């Protein structure tokens, strides 16, 4: 029998709400995901929630019943809550009717198998969580193996980033590395390492993408730093033909991933 929480002051409610803050995510190693669709995606991938929170109506949905069973089978808690509690935890006036707390699952760089996918993505110092989440979603859709976060990046487990992944946060491997760790790891990369650079002269469609390709994208404002640009086999430009001097990072990454995985 699942328990219910009715108090906004309940410690579980407070802990879940605190996951909007990076500090609380880092200390707990957990994150918050919203919505039955994304929770179902997680359960299908064998990632049971630590804590599942749902409204009375939502709890009766067959997929929610399945998520509840998976949560409890894995030793987690499935808890019915009121809409006021869902709103408080999600910090939204119109909250999703299912929220869940999961363990973060960074993959160590050394555990990535380059040959497992035709394309991988590395992001240097990405700043915008919406961009990062959208890139994780794109990587998943395009069959990339995963996303490597290099240097000081925003948190892929922030609520905003997770929301933008639309569930792909559970499907794609996510690793993180310092610049030095990345450079050492990249030295053994078996395929092409292709970076985008505004000053490059090679059109992105003209580069060789020998699988597994590693697509290297720089920060939203500054692009790739010289050290990472130098680590590429080739740097390429996506031609800018209008007045805009750059693409949104997630759009540019999508264009690159599909260039690397043609055929």
Residue numbers 230-259 binding its own copies by CB under 8 A: 238-248, 250-255, 258
Least distance from its own copies to the Cβ atom of residue 58, Å: 20
Interatomic CA distance for residues 119 and 258, integer angstroms: 9
**Cα distance between the two ends of the chain:** 52
130 interacts with its own copies by CB under 8 A: yes
Looking at the Cβ atoms of 12 and 165, the one nearer to its own copies is: 165
147 interacts with its own copies by CB under 8 A: no
Least distance from its own copies to the Cβ atom of residue 43, Å: 13
Give how many residues touch its own copies by CB under 8 A: 39
Looking at the Cβ atoms of 40 and 235, the one nearer to its own copies is: 40
Interatomic CA distance for residues 34 and 122, integer angstroms: 26
Decide if 253 contacts 147 (C-beta within 8 A). Answer: no
CA distances from 193 to 114, 210, 239 (A): 12, 9, 19
Which one, of 39, 32, 103, 29, lies nearest residue 69 by Cα? 39
Looking at the Cβ atoms of 82 and 130, the one nearer to its own copies is: 130
Which one, of 2, 176, 163, lies nearest residue 91 by Cα? 163
208 interacts with its own copies by CB under 8 A: no
45 interacts with its own copies by CB under 8 A: yes
The footprint of its own copies (CB under 8 A) covers: 41, 45, 130, 134, 137-144, 164, 166-168, 171-172, 205, 238-248, 250-255, 258, 261-262
């Amino acid at each position: 029998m699942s328990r219910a929480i009715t108090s906004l002051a309940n410690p579980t409610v407070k802990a879940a709400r605190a996951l909007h803050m990076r500090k609380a995510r880092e200390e707990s190693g957990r994150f918050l995901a919203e919505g039955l669709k994304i929770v179902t995606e997680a359960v299908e991938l064998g990632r049971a929630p630590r804590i599942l929170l749902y409204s009375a109506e939502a709890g009766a949905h067959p997929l929610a019943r399945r998520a509840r069973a998976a949560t409890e089978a894995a030793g987690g808690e499935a808890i019915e809550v009121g809409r006021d509690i869902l709103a408080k935890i999600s910090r939204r006036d119109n909250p999703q009717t299912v929220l869940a707390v999961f363990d973060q699952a960074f993959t160590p760089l050394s555990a990535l198998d380059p040959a497992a996918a035709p394309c991988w993505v590395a992001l240097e110092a990405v700043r915008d969580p919406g961009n990062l989440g959208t890139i994780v979603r794109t990587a998943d859709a395009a069959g990339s193996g995963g996303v490597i976060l290099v240097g000081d990046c925003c948190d892929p487990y922030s609520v905003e980033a997770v929301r933008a992944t639309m569930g792909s946060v559970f499907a794609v491997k996510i690793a993180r590395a310092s610049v030095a760790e990345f450079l050492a790891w990249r030295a053994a990369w078996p395929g092409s390492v292709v970076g985008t650079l505004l000053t490059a002269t090679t059109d992105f469609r003209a580069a060789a993408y020998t699988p597994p390709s590693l697509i290297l994208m720089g920060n939203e404002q500054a692009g790739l730093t010289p050290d990472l640009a130098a680590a590429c086999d080739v740097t390429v430009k996506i031609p800018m033909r209008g007045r805009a001097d750059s693409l949104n990072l997630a759009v540019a990454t999508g264009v690159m991933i599909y260039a690397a995985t043609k055929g």
